[in-house]
């Protein structure tokens, strides 16, 4: 939801060139939400789902932090400032999600390593 709000703010601002990052992040989050909701992670065992979610969180936090700094410092309109503030909030949310997903990823990798014979 936060990515969609940031996307709308960037569309309404002078910093419209930054709108692609929140749009892609929103679509990736929506895809992963529906993949987990429809149990695709249980059907497609070849995809490392926790790693996919982990990489999405890491890249989203970095990208949101970078474009938020650029939007707040370079553009003076209210929508750009709002998008930057929401972007900083999204950075914090994705950092928390990064931490939670990292713990799930470690559990997933430990589970995978115990399946192999010694």
Instruction: For residue range 95-104, list pLDDT tens digits in order.
Output: 999 899 888 7
Residue 21 has pLDDT above 60, yes or no: yes
Q: What is the mean predicted confidence (pLDDT) over 72-100?
A: 92
Instruction: Scan for tokens 């990515």, then name that residue.
Output: 3
Give the percent of the chain with pLDDT over 70. Answer: 94
pLDDT confidence tier of residue 13, bands split at 50, 70 and 90: confident
Main-chain phi, psi angles of 33, to 5 degrees: -60, -50
Domain residue spans in the chain?
A: 1-39+48-110
Please report the pLDDT score of residue 24 as a whole number: 92
The 3-state secondary structure of 11-29, one letter per residue: HHCCCHHHCHHHHHHHHHH
User: When comparing pLDDT for 95 and 51, which is higher?
Assistant: 95
Q: What is the mean predicted confidence (pLDDT) over 17-38?
A: 90
Main-chain phi, psi angles of 68, to 5 degrees: -70, -40
């Amino acid at each position: 939801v936060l990515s969609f709000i940031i996307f709308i703010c960037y569309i309404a601002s002078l910093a419209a060139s930054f709108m692609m990052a929140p749009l892609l992040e929103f679509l990736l989050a929506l895809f992963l939400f529906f993949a987990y909701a429809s149990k695709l992670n249980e059907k497609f065992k070849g995809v490392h789902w926790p790693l996919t979610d982990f990489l999405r969180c890491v890249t989203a936090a970095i990208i949101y932090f970078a474009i938020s700094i650029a939007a707040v410092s370079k553009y003076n309109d209210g929508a750009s400032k709002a998008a930057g503030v929401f972007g900083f909030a999204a950075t914090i949310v994705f950092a928390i999600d990064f931490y939670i997903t990292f713990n799930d990823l470690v559990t997933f990798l430990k589970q995978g390593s115990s399946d192999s014979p010694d």
